[in-house]
């Protein structure tokens, strides 16, 4: 999809020039620099970003989210800090784990040896240095690189996770942890590029977490390209809990082939500014897509979920339930577009977005959009914005439940019909615990 810009307003600004300088300076040093295809890909990204700059609110897709914070900051490259260990219990769970610190894969912290046959997990940087042709061919195949942020990612992508599951293989659960570190007074930016590919009939549960040190002023501009072969099934859980000083812009492109299923849940509760953009294509008949999630936004945070679902083939189903809870002076955005192509007869589309405002100063902008060009489709969508139900609150309190606990029960209940869509009990419980922890933060004014 191509966004129309009415003016490249930010092009030429200091921050844009600074980032382009970086791209030029690093061009010779980034992994795969000497591979002509990779070099051309990066050059195209830089060119696109140079001509468009940061999107402004005059661009329709960015009407509700302002990137002034990015335009006004001079981000540096992350330093190589081999001694940094995230203060997380990495051995907590079994199974393969890939750890990225400031956007770079850290083999010493990861657990990617002893993989089952047909399961491959690697560092993008390693594969590009090794001139792995399959990796090179996959770069930018799905991501909308006519858009400035994915284009900038192409120009500056240094590393990322490459996961491949061979035909018919069940890859179990793979975790990816992206951790941002602090450098007082030195904002850093990194641009991970993840390539995930499931072969015909393959299975995988992918759990991605983004966290960071409390003071880390980091901008993570991540792009994920996910390709699901016929009959494949990916359960994708994303949790973003970065510190208040962080900026998180994510672009996820997923292509779901015939009979395949992409089942995702994204929980956003961190960062000062989050843009979670998803471009999904149902490319073959009987493909299924679940784009569920919750945005928990407190204080001065801003969270934006923008999704574009392309029904390009007949007999496909897409389901989307997104819940946003806003406290303090938080801002939330949901933009959900479903585009049913002429060929996509018998499309079954469902979209629900609901917001709960806990404070009179919080705001949500919600924009559902249906574009239907086929004539035999079933598409429904709904949107609600509300406050806590005072009658329900009184009912709980009249049973002896203190006000704070009663509110927590009602917030959890609001989130329940999204979180309950996560079929795996363990994952569901973890997400539930994360939402409870968020509520603790709100209650204690943190």
Partner 1 sequence: MLKIEGLKASVEGKEVLRGIDLEVPAGEVHAIMGPNGSGKSTLGYVLAGREGYEVTAGSVTFRGQDLLAMEPEERAAAGLFLAFQYPVELPGVGNANFLRQALNAVRRARGEPELDAMQFLKLVRGKVKALGMTEEMLKRAVNVGFSGGEKKRNEILQMAILEPAFCILDETDSGLDIDALKIVAEGVNALRSPERGMLVITHYQRLLDHIVPDRVHVLVGGRIVQSGGPELARELEAKGYGELQAAA
Binding region for partner 1 (CB under 8 A):
390-392, 394-403, 405-406, 409-410, 412-417
User: Which CB sits closer to partner 1, 346 or 397?
Assistant: 397
Nearest in space to 302 (alpha carbons), one of 247, 243, 241? 247
Task: Write out the H or E segment, with its range, that includes residue 433.
Answer: helix 425-443
Q: What's the min distance (Å) between Cβ of 417 and partner 1?
A: 6
Q: Tally the C-alpha atoms within 13 A of residue 139's C-alpha that lie toward its C-beta.
A: 32
Q: What's the min distance (Å) between Cβ of 219 and partner 1?
A: 36
3-state DSSP call for residue 47?
helix
User: Which CB sits closer to partner 1, 370 or 401?
Assistant: 401
Please give the C-alpha separations between residue 160 and each of 24, 85, 220, 221, in angstroms, as whole numbers.
20, 18, 12, 11
Q: What's the min distance (Å) between Cβ of 423 and partner 1?
A: 17
Q: Tally the C-alpha atoms within 13 A of residue 224's C-alpha that lie toward its C-beta.
A: 23
Token readout for 152 is 């900038």
Instruction: State the residue for tokens 């429904």.
Output: 380
Q: What's the min distance (Å) between Cβ of 295 and partner 1?
A: 17
Buried/exposed code over 78-103 (b: 16+ C-beta within 10 A; e: otherwise):
beeeeebebeeeeeeeeebbbbbbbb
Strands (E), 155-287: 161-165, 170-180, 188-190, 193-198, 203-212, 218-228, 233-240, 247-256, 261-268, 273-282
User: Which CB sits closer to partner 1, 381 or 432?
Assistant: 432
Token readout for 368 is 């559902």
Q: What's the min distance (Å) between Cβ of 129 and partner 1?
A: 50
**Contact assessment for residue 237 and residue 292, using Cβ atoms and an 8 Å cutoff:** no
3-state DSSP call for residue 303?
strand
User: Which CB sits closer to partner 1, 245 or 359?
Assistant: 359
3-state DSSP call for residue 68?
helix
How many angstroms separate the CA atoms of 413 and 435, rounded? 11
Q: What's the min distance (Å) between Cβ of 239 and partner 1?
A: 21
**Contact assessment for residue 126 and residue 113, using Cβ atoms and an 8 Å cutoff:** no
User: Which CB sits closer to partner 1, 402 or 446?
Assistant: 402
Q: What's the min distance (Å) between Cβ of 439 and partner 1?
A: 14
**Contact assessment for residue 144 and residue 55, using Cβ atoms and an 8 Å cutoff:** no
Instruction: State the residue for tokens 């969270």.
Output: 303
Q: What's the min distance (Å) between Cβ of 395 and partner 1?
A: 4
User: Which CB sits closer to partner 1, 309 or 396?
Assistant: 396
| Region label for 360, one of left (φ > 0), alpha (ψ between -120 and 50) or beta (otherwise) | alpha
How many CB atoms are closer than 10 A to CB 130?
Answer: 12
User: Which CB sits closer to partner 1, 108 or 391?
Assistant: 391
3-state DSSP call for residue 84?
coil
Q: What's the min distance (Å) between Cβ of 410 and partner 1?
A: 8
Q: What's the min distance (Å) between Cβ of 294 and partner 1?
A: 13
User: Which CB sits closer to partner 1, 244 or 409?
Assistant: 409
User: Which CB sits closer to partner 1, 417 or 429?
Assistant: 417
User: Which CB sits closer to partner 1, 6 or 391?
Assistant: 391
């Amino acid at each position: 999809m191509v966004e129309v810009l009415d003016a490249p307003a930010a092009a030429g600004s200091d921050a844009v020039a600074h980032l382009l300088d970086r791209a030029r300076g690093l061009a010779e040093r980034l992994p795969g620099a000497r591979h002509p295809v990779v070099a051309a890909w990066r050059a195209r990204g830089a060119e696109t970003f140079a001509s468009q700059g940061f999107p402004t609110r005059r661009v329709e897709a960015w009407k509700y989210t302002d990137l002034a914070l990015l335009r006004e900051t001079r981000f540096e490259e992350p330093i190589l800090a081999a001694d940094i260990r995230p203060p997380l219990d990495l051995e907590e769970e079994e199974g393969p784990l890939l750890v990225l610190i400031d956007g770079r894969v850290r083999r010493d912290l990861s657990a990617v040896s002893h993989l089952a046959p047909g399961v491959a997990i690697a560092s993008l940087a390693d594969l590009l240095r090794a001139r792995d042709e399959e990796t090179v061919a996959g770069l930018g195949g799905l991501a909308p690189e006519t858009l400035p942020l994915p284009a900038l990612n192409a120009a500056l992508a240094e590393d990322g996770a490459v996961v491949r599951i061979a035909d018919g293989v069940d890859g179990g659960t793979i975790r990816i942890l992206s951790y941002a570190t602090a450098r007082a007074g030195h904002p850093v930016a990194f641009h991970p590029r993840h390539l995930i590919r499931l072969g015909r009939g393959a299975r995988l549960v992918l759990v991605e977490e983004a966290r960071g040190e409390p003071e880390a002023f980091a901008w993570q501009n991540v792009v994920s390209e996910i390709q699901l072969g016929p009959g494949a099934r990916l359960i994708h859980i994303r949790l973003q809990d970065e510190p208040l000083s962080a900026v998180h812009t994510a672009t996820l492109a997923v292509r779901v082939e015939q009979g395949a299923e992409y089942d995702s849940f994204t929980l956003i509760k961190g960062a000062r500014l989050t843009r979670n953009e998803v471009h999904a294509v149902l490319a073959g008949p009987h493909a299924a897509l679940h784009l569920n999630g919750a945005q928990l936004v407190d204080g001065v945070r801003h969270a934006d979920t923008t999704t574009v679902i392309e029904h390009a083939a007949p007999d496909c189903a897409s389901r989307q339930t997104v819940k946003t809870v806003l406290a303090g002076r938080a801002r939330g955005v949901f933009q959900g577009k479903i585009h049913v192509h002429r060929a996509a007869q018998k499309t079954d589309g469902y979209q629900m977005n609901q917001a709960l405002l806990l404070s009179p100063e919080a705001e949500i902008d919600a924009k559902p959009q249906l574009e239907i060009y086929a004539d035999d489709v079933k598409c429904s969508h709904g949107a609600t914005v509300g406050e806590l139900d005072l009658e329900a609150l009184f009912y709980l309190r009249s049973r002896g439940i203190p006000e704070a606990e009663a509110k927590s029960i009602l917030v959890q209940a609001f989130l329940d019909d999204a979180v309950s869509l996560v079929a795996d009990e363990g994952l569901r419980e973890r997400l539930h615990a994360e939402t409870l922890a968020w509520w603790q933060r709100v209650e204690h004014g943190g």
